[in-house]
Amino acid sequence: MTKKVLLCGNDLLIQSIIRHNVFKDQPFELIWYQREAEFSQEVNDILSSAVLAQNLSLTGTNTPPWGEIDLLLVGQPEFAEDLSLVERMRVETQWTQFLINQAMANNFSGKVCFLSANSEQQVVSAIRFSGLPASSVFGIGTAQLSLLAEQLVSKVLHVDVRQIQVNVVGTLSRPIPAWSRGRVAGIPLLSLIAQENSLFNQDNLDEIEAALQHNSLEGLLPAMLNSLDQIFGALFSSFGLIITLAHQVELGDSLIAISEPVLLSAQGLSTMPLVNLSENENQQLGAAKAEVLAQIQELMGGK
């Protein structure tokens, strides 16, 4: 049965996802949600590009078949440019609640993936207001940074990127490369630094960490599209995949979301034990979790 993906938002990433999948021509049914019945010329132009695809179906609608949707992809709402970070998060939370209310009122039972830079807050909000299981709601989080880190290590070592495993945990604003659990062809990544005449050293780590800190949507767009390819593959095939995604976790008596490696499959996501982090990495991850909690508390207090 053809999988149905509903895309919500008119931002750059949503438009790029549509164009990317038209080019790949996967056998999916993409449905682009529009709040207005009358589509803009830009939307119509993008929809008309589906003529290039033979296997993929692309339509636009303001009345989506919520009960038939397998995956809901939530992009960014429209913002005023002068909004503060908390104000932007508040708009995103309202956008999340608007979509979730419509979805649940119309028998939605699929998976939800948030694509914004603040997907942690949206994950918690969506689970809270939908009643969906936590295994069905996640954010793209730092998935694209994990792919970027692996590519940068591959470039330094001249090793096929498929032989490299690096998880960037935390959040997009506080990315934490888990070097202590990184692997190159099964060998601990950090062990290469200690080797004489190694191609990999501490300077390389510092350069990669700096690249991860200075990220932008435009710069990360190829990695984000690759991450979504992985998400589609994990959800819509018989093989699961370990991906670094934002998912709900407990922090004391509170619920937050943070990016960590999870197993994603057709059944949803399953958490995995995050072992072998160094003391410094654990401290950084704790700081990232505390920041997310503070943001969630500020959002809830501002309602």
Question: What φ, ψ does residue 164 adopt, rounded to 5°?
Answer: -115, 135
Residue ranges per domain, the chain?
3-139, 143-301
Confidence bin at 303 (pLDDT 50/70/90): very low
Closest CA to 171 of 272, 79, 285, 84: 285
* CATH 3.40.50.720 matches 3-139: yes
User: Which residue do the tokens 């290469």 mark?
Assistant: 192
pLDDT in tens, 172-226: 999 999 999 999 999 999 998 877 777 888 999 999 999 999 878 888 999 999 9
Amino acid at 68: E
Protein fold of 143-301: L-2-Hydroxyisocaproate Dehydrogenase; Chain A, domain 2 (3.90.110)
In 19-136, which ranges are E strands?
Answer: 28-33, 57-61, 71-74, 111-114
Distance of CA 273 to the CA centre of its chain: 20
Rounded Cα distance, 72 and 94, in Å: 16
Instruction: Indicate the burial class of 5 (C-beta count within 10 angstroms; 0-12, 13-18, 19 or more).
Output: buried
> Across the chain, which distance is largest between two alpha carbons, in Å?
65
Evaluate if residue 255 carries a pLDDT over 60. yes
Closest CA to 117 of 97, 136, 91: 91
pLDDT in tens, 6-41: 999 999 999 999 999 999 998 999 999 998 888 999
